[in-house]
A and B are shown apart, each in its own frame.
Chain A
């Protein structure tokens, strides 16, 4: 059997699953929500899974990962995925000493018995996506698939078609939530290969502020595929601190899109940390739809083995006086592959735009590769934009300086890498999370004693 025939299998299976899902909906198949899902499956059927002939997927070959016999988390066979994870199973995925609302999703279903909500403020709604849809269908429909387009994105289309599970976080106007929301997504692949598709919606009212941490995990030795779409609406002056933490197993494939819509003077701070996994593809897009917004995209990928990390970002400046600032750093070892595709779009009306982008990579092995492609499209004249990308080895002068002071080559190298990563780690505002990531990195570099200092 050829590879493309097998690919067709998963595609057909998805379409078949959708049809049976639809048949089970009865009266609900007439809702506007479902109408969008229907459009999405049709689009998915047209597009199919992307191959490397697709420019957006040039370096990221999903084909091998599509071969597994996946059970769709919200499909025909989803009954077989009914799983019983205990608090002990998910404990390793929590961030020690981070005082947070923890929402656990297993095969994208919300697991309330494993979750802890500590915030009791009025104006804070946190639930599964399905529950939010049931409770406030108008509100959800107003945003659903309005921000995350699936027209040219097969995986977003597929997620949209099966949109049901995932997280909803709604923060009312003026409400500031101190405690982070930690969304823990677990694929339980102990008995089957699982394709789960969390759908998230975060709505922050004017002047609201919140912090959301997303992490993704695979249990078991079968393949885990997670295809996530998150839509984020930031009303005027809203502030969202958003963290993605990826430290998953080799048998995991992750494709995640976060589409942000920023109204005037809103702030979006994003830090994406990728430390391990099979294939990791992050799409992070923000639409600067109001004036004077502020956006920070920070990323660190530090991987080895055969891990592939692909970050696609877009800062879409549609209005004047907006600032976007992006720094992605990579450390690639062994046969790992990095991809960075950062696009800055400055539309005609976006005068006085400040847009900066930098991608810096260190290759530790001759077999590691980095593909970096900055894209600037500027249609306004009064703007300040810059971008830069470097890939190479550690600074030889710095290495020699440290060695000339008695540090071994390994130690000097570790110290420099630790400092290199530190520039992104320090952007994490939650102390417990920062410590957590720092500890993982220090341990990986055998720099525990320096960390303690």
Chain B
């Protein structure tokens, strides 16, 4: 589904991703872990098409297409969804209007008619209930005045509405209490299917108790320095990141 080869990216002349290789097939859940500043959010943003990053090398293909040639909206329409680490507040744009526009754009790209208003409202109600999102939040401006937890739940809610093929969750767990974490995890697990893939970026192993990954990768200083199964997350939890830092300090310096 997604093939990342030797991907390199820089911002303001500073190299951040230094050659990432990753193969993601449909149905798989990949966790990406790593200390702060490793480049996790950068990788997510590059996949979603953020233009602030300069691609200095490598390639990314999504279902056979050159992803890096696509505009952010084309990627979303093709089925890529990024749950933002910091969801953006957009005053004056109501959640409902925004979602209707988004859902219909994505449907249009799939050759579907705009959703009937009635169906749209029913779907909203159903998915919002799942994420324990209050109906009053729907008439409010996008993310405006939402608590940290509400913003994160809203991201997963949007994901459920947009029905992506590949979802990248960037630290959706950070700042959540255990109850909110469970809601998010339940929402994600409901969407797990043989047709859909996930990239779950997290700093902690905690989330991975609830969303059990097929693969775990450790991103450090712009490189994937270790890959393994779900037990790698437990190892990291037990040993901490210092172990990675020590082990790879030399290698990366050289």
- What CA separation (Å) do A402 and B94 show in the bound complex? 12
* B residues less than 8 Å from A418 (CB atoms): 92-93
* A residues less than 8 Å from B88 (CB atoms): 395, 397-398, 400-401
Q: Which of B77, B87, B91 contacts A406 (CB 8 A)?
A: B77
CB–CB A404/B76 < 8 A: yes
Which of A396, A398, A403, A408 counts the most B-chain CB atoms under 10 A from its CB? A403
- What CA separation (Å) do A453 and B94 show in the bound complex? 10
Give the interface size class of chain B: 20 to 34
- What CA separation (Å) do A419 and B144 show in the bound complex? 13
* B residues less than 8 Å from A411 (CB atoms): 101, 105
Total A-B Cβ pairs within 8 A: 80
What are 11 A-B residue pairs whose CB atoms fall within 8 Å in the complex?
A402-B90, A402-B98, A403-B49, A404-B76, A406-B76, A407-B102, A409-B71, A415-B98, A418-B92, A419-B92, A420-B92
In the complex, how many angstroms separate the beta carbon of A137 from the nearest chain B beta carbon? 50
Closest 8 CB pairs of A and B: A419-B92, A406-B76, A406-B105, A403-B72, A405-B102, A401-B88, A406-B106, A403-B73
B172 is an interface residue with CB less than 8 A from chain A: no
- What CA separation (Å) do A450 and B92 show in the bound complex? 12
Which of B49, B92, B141 counts the most A-chain CB atoms under 10 A from its CB? B92
B124 is an interface residue with CB less than 8 A from chain A: no
- What CA separation (Å) do A418 and B49 show in the bound complex? 24
CB–CB A416/B71 < 8 A: no
- What CA separation (Å) do A42 and B106 show in the bound complex? 68
A423 is an interface residue with CB less than 8 A from chain B: yes
In the complex, how many angstroms separate the beta carbon of B89 from the nearest chain A beta carbon? 8
In the complex, how many angstroms separate the beta carbon of B229 from the nearest chain A beta carbon? 30
CB–CB B73/A453 < 8 A: no
CB–CB B98/A406 < 8 A: no
* A residues less than 8 Å from B106 (CB atoms): 406
A422 is an interface residue with CB less than 8 A from chain B: yes
* A residues less than 8 Å from B51 (CB atoms): 400
CB–CB B90/A401 < 8 A: yes
* B residues less than 8 Å from A453 (CB atoms): 94, 96-97, 100
Q: Which residue in chain B gives the minimum CB-CB distance to A451?
A: B97
Q: Which of B76, B84, B93 contacts A415 (CB 8 A)?
A: B93
* B residues less than 8 Å from A419 (CB atoms): 90-93, 141
* A residues less than 8 Å from B101 (CB atoms): 407, 411, 415, 450
* B residues less than 8 Å from A404 (CB atoms): 48-49, 72-73, 75-76, 82, 84
- What CA separation (Å) do A450 and B100 show in the bound complex? 9
Q: Which residue in chain A gives the minimum CB-CB distance to B80?
A: A404
* A residues less than 8 Å from B91 (CB atoms): 419, 423
CB–CB A408/B96 < 8 A: no
- What CA separation (Å) do A407 and B94 show in the bound complex? 15
B158 is an interface residue with CB less than 8 A from chain A: yes
Q: Which residue in chain A gives the minimum CB-CB distance to B96?
A: A453
CB–CB A405/B98 < 8 A: yes
B197 is an interface residue with CB less than 8 A from chain A: no
- What CA separation (Å) do A321 and B232 show in the bound complex? 66
- What CA separation (Å) do A404 and B166 show in the bound complex? 13
- What CA separation (Å) do A123 and B98 show in the bound complex? 48
Interface residues of B in 123-162 (CB under 8 A from A): 141-142, 158, 162
B11 is an interface residue with CB less than 8 A from chain A: no
* B residues less than 8 Å from A396 (CB atoms): 52
Binary contact track B49-84/A, C-beta < 8 Å → 1, others 0 = 111100000000000000000011101110000101
* B residues less than 8 Å from A450 (CB atoms): 97, 100-101
CB–CB A407/B73 < 8 A: yes
Q: Which residue in chain B gives the minimum CB-CB distance to A411?
A: B101
- What CA separation (Å) do A120 and B229 show in the bound complex? 82
Extra inter-chain contacts (13) besides given A404-B84, A405-B105, A453-B94, CB under 8 Å: A400-B88, A401-B88, A401-B142, A403-B72, A403-B76, A405-B162, A406-B77, A406-B102, A406-B105, A406-B109, A407-B105, A419-B93, A450-B100
Q: Which of A397, A400, A403, A416 contacts B93 (CB 8 A)?
A: A416
In the complex, how many angstroms separate the beta carbon of A424 from the nearest chain B beta carbon? 10
Q: Which residue in chain A gives the minimum CB-CB distance to B108?
A: A406
* A residues less than 8 Å from B71 (CB atoms): 403, 409
- What CA separation (Å) do A422 and B141 show in the bound complex? 12
Interface residues of A in 406-436 (CB under 8 A from B): 406-409, 411-412, 415-416, 418-420, 422-423
In the complex, how many angstroms separate the beta carbon of B146 from the nearest chain A beta carbon? 13
Binary contact track A221-248/B, C-beta < 8 Å → 1, others 0 = 0000000000000000000000000000
CB–CB A408/B76 < 8 A: no
Interface residues of A in 429-453 (CB under 8 A from B): 450, 453
Q: Which residue in chain A gives the minimum CB-CB distance to B100?
A: A453
* B residues less than 8 Å from A405 (CB atoms): 76, 98, 102, 105, 158, 162
